A and B are shown apart, each in its own frame.
Chain A
Amino acid sequence: MKLLGAQILLKGLEKQGVKIIFGYPGGSVIPIFDELYKAKKPKFILVRHEQGATHMADGYARATGDVGVVLVTSGPGATNTVTGIATAYADSIPMIIITGQVATNLIGNDAFQEADICGITRPIVKHNFLVKKISDLPMIIEKAFFIARTGRPGPVLIDLPVDVSKAEMEFENFPEKIEIKGYQTRPKVILRQVEEAVKMIKNSKKPLLYAGGGIIISGASAEFTALARTLKIPVATTLMGLGCFPETDKLSLGMLGMHGTKPANFAIQNCDLLISVGARFDDRVTGKIGEFAPYAKIIHIDIDPSSISKNVKVDIDVVGDAKEIIKELLKAAEPLNIPNWLRKVSGWKKQYPLNYDREKNIIKPQFVIEAIDRLKGDNAIITTEVGQHQMFAAQYLTHAHPRNFLSSGGLGTMGFGFPAAIGAQSAFPDKLVIDIAGDGSFKMNIQELETCVIYGLPVKVIILNNGYLGMVRQWQEMFFGKRYSATNLQPDGVGEIFDFVKIAEGYGVKGFRVSEKCLLEKTLKEAFAHQGPVVVDVRTEREENVFPMIPPGKAVHEMVG
């Protein structure tokens, strides 16, 4: 059967189980959009900025575990995806980004809307492909998806020149076998390493489980929870790992690291064995590396060998898939006899709970998070932007299920949360999806309000509005003598100009504003019940700080607050 490149692409996406594509058209992808129009599937969501498309595909992928797909044009369309791709790369999210490209004979000629997107994205993709001829296309599609979703997942870019989309070839089937010599999807678990780890665990007196996003990627939350409970070892999670272990459990210490809880951080600094599963010893967690976990032997379980001993030297490494390895550990797992340690840890929990001034008659951001936690129900998906509100959300929500908390951890991209929520909502139309936003962040992709309305995606945006770029302001307060350089969004002499409610209504979206503590719960209830997208402008205390905090360059135990 003779098929066009564009038709082969769509057939390929269908074969890979793609249900939704997020994107924006342009000259070099018109042939593809033409075929989309005729085929009527997969579903296409037209965004208002290509960056929005990438974060939507990202949110979709984080919520479902499936690959998120983006389709944009060449030149500026492609370059607008760079931030979103880097965001996905930093958090190991499976994504396929299809960029149009100028015709093959024009590549390298500074043609109209030409950009070397393969060159530009090289450091921030797992791999990229330039489709030079149509006969390469079927294999490239197979390989791209394979690479994106296997091993440590990540974004893969396919650069598709317009003449290849328009070319024709005789096509029967996609290739059955993919061979990529240099790529190993699942390193074979070395059982001897597992045995060593089991021995070390059995001999420990003060063990701690350090759980990261890898557990969620591996779909291993249930197994990990069983392991922690069987061994009776306390659990601290990273930002990316929140939800892999229910925080209602006695063993849960909450989040660790720069804005982690005191019990979690004390546990790190006092444990004699640190068992890291699916985490990468990021600088937000370790603080001053030389003084991190000073008394602990370290077991590192990870699918990516390059993460092992990258920052912190470990004693035992077990390379492989988290679920597979945890299952092996479960075979030999027995409850440890460590009552003193458990008592000490629960003592810290009692002595150092997270707290804020609950008396003051002004809406504190933590108060809003607690209200959202109470009112959201058990199955809601929460996304966040980046900054203080993100940290409060990580601290004050009760994380109990994986894939319900979607936050840009590695890159820390402002403007991520709202489109990510839209992506998640498109995967789960019946769930309550909430974007917890800062007023700075929400303005970065506010244009996607239109997308919500057009596609009937009833995302609820709760803005913790303090009129500042809060996190930077906090650092300026703590370390730069309160010199609020470029962080006051309501500068003296100008004050507040922006009206979130008016702007929302301009987009056809319901807007709420609330500034009194006693009215917050009622407003949130109304917002969550509203059939349609909602923006809630919550006026909070202007200057509030996130504590505890490990100041930059300090060791974990030098927490303040």
Chain B
Amino acid sequence: MENKKRIFAVLVENHFGVLSNVSNLFSARGFNIHSLTVGTTDNPDISRITIVVAEEDEQTLDQIEKQLNKLIDVIKVVNLSGQDEVIAEHVMAKIKINEKNRSDVIQLINIYKARIDYVNTETIMVSMVGNSKKIDSFIELMGHYGLKEVVRSGAIAMSRTVDVVPE
């Protein structure tokens, strides 16, 4: 993760409109969202939103945490940056290939341990999991051959030492 980004784990009640509340908060106050992803937890009534913010000013980060906590449907907010965290992100991409460079591309894909989901004479479609740095470098590398389409899931994260659970 570059210096400028921080990752928050937000536990919320799985209520109608809660995602709207959270994203509204960010846009209303001008905080920069880099990525946002949401899914249910082991408890179907509780969802977990993972937000990567492109902010580094301590006062702003403090405000983000406090404002999130103010929302009625938010149960818990944890800033996972610096908490011995593991970050994972999923990326899918379509890479342009031709007969001449296909083997090279496949070799690189294997080095990155990405999975090939489809191939024809012009395109290879791959999917990969990794931390943001790995994904950034993969996309940059494949960019040299030509990217047709890229989708990133946004990061999710978990701390080795801190538990993000509702009390």
Contacts and interface: CB of A to CB of B under 8 A. Distances in A.
B62 A181 contact: no
A308 B12 CA distance: 23
Interface residues of B, number: 23
Interface stretch (A124-132, A217-225, A292-300, A515-523): A124-132
A281 to B, nearest CB: 13
B17 A130 contact: yes
Contact of A123 (B24, B59, B74): B24
A180 interface: yes
The interface centre, meaning the residue of A122, A147, A304, A313 with most chain B CB atoms within 10 A of its CB, is A122
B124 to A, nearest CB: 41
Contact of A306 (B16, B24, B69): B69
B75 interface: yes
Contacts of A310: 63, 66
Contacts of A309: 59, 62
B24 A182 contact: no
7 contacts: A122-B24, A130-B16, A130-B17, A180-B72, A182-B72, A182-B74, A310-B66
A128 B24 CA distance: 14
Contacts, number: 45
A431 B91 CA distance: 68
B17 to A, nearest CB: 6
Interface in A447-481: none
Contacts of A122: 17, 20-21, 24
Contacts of A313: 59
A118 interface: yes
A305 interface: yes
Interface string A201-213: 0000000000000
Interface in A277-313: 304-306, 308-310, 313
A336 B13 CA distance: 49
A163 B72 CA distance: 27
A446 to B, nearest CB: 33
Interface string A28-55: 0000000000000000000000000000
Interface in B34-73: 59, 62-63, 66-67, 69-73
B72 A127 contact: yes
Contacts of B70: 304, 306
Contacts of B72: 126-127, 147, 180, 182-183
Interface string A396-429: 0000000000000000000000000000000000
Contacts of B74: 182
Contacts of A130: 16-17
Interface in A108-134: 118-119, 122-123, 126-128, 130, 132
Nearest to B65: A306
B63 A181 contact: no
Given A132-B16, A306-B63, A306-B66, A181 B24 contact: no
Contact of A305 (B16, B24, B66): B66
Contacts of B16: 130, 132
A309 B65 CA distance: 13
Nearest to B12: A182
Given A122-B24, A130-B16, A130-B17, 13 more contacts: A118-B17, A119-B20, A123-B25, A128-B17, A147-B72, A180-B72, A182-B72, A182-B73, A305-B66, A305-B69, A306-B67, A310-B63, A310-B66
B166 interface: yes
B28 interface: yes
B10 to A, nearest CB: 10
A25 to B, nearest CB: 27
Interface string B70-86: 11111110000000000
The interface centre, meaning the residue of A132, A181, A308 with most chain B CB atoms within 10 A of its CB, is A181
A132 B15 CA distance: 12
Contacts of A123: 24-25, 28
A182 B45 CA distance: 13
A122 B74 CA distance: 14
A528 to B, nearest CB: 43
The interface centre, meaning the residue of B13, B17, B75, B76 with most chain A CB atoms within 10 A of its CB, is B17
B25 to A, nearest CB: 8
A182 B20 contact: no
A309 B60 CA distance: 10
5 closest A-B pairs (Cβ-Cβ)?
A306-B66, A182-B75, A127-B72, A181-B75, A182-B74
Contacts of A181: 13, 75, 166
A439 to B, nearest CB: 34
Contact of A182 (B25, B28, B62, B71): B71
Contacts of B17: 118, 122, 128, 130
The interface centre, meaning the residue of B13, B67, B70, B74 with most chain A CB atoms within 10 A of its CB, is B70
A182 B76 contact: yes
